[in-house]
Amino acid sequence: DAGITQSPRHKVTETGTPVTLRCHQTENHRYMYWYRQDPGHGLRLIHYSYGVKDTDKGEVSDGYSVSRSKTEDFLLTLESATSSQTSVYFCAISERGKHTEAFFGQGTRLTVV
């Protein structure tokens, strides 16, 4: 398995609180992605990064922000968590984005109550 670690693996938080999820890689891959997985919706891209401090929005970016200050870390922040953000969040990495496969982390199960 590719060296991808997501933390925390499980989290329960209250509505309105900020939450930060971390994705750490040891592969030195350039591209990193955050997805959310929900029944009936598959995986939807939230944000992605194509280098340090280079990020862009995905399909469902509202209510989320990201930061990448180092190659190995990609942080996803829910600025004010809502119940609709209850989901399983997956981080993925890719060496060159276009012509290589993406490797996925184990996922973070987030529950907003």
Q: Which residues here bind another protein, judged by CB under 8 A? A: 31, 33, 35, 40-45, 48, 50, 56, 58-59, 90, 92, 94, 97-99, 101-107
Please state, in angstroms and rounded to a whole number, the distance separating the CA atoms of residues 46 and 61: 5
Tell the smallest beta-carbon distance from residue 12 to another protein (Å): 19
- Beta strand 87-94 pairing with 4-7: unpaired
From the CA atom positions of the chain, what is the Rg in Å? 13
Tell the smallest beta-carbon distance from residue 94 to another protein (Å): 7
Decide whether 47 or 85 has the Cβ nearer to another protein. Answer: 47
Both tokens of 111, joined, read 């529950």
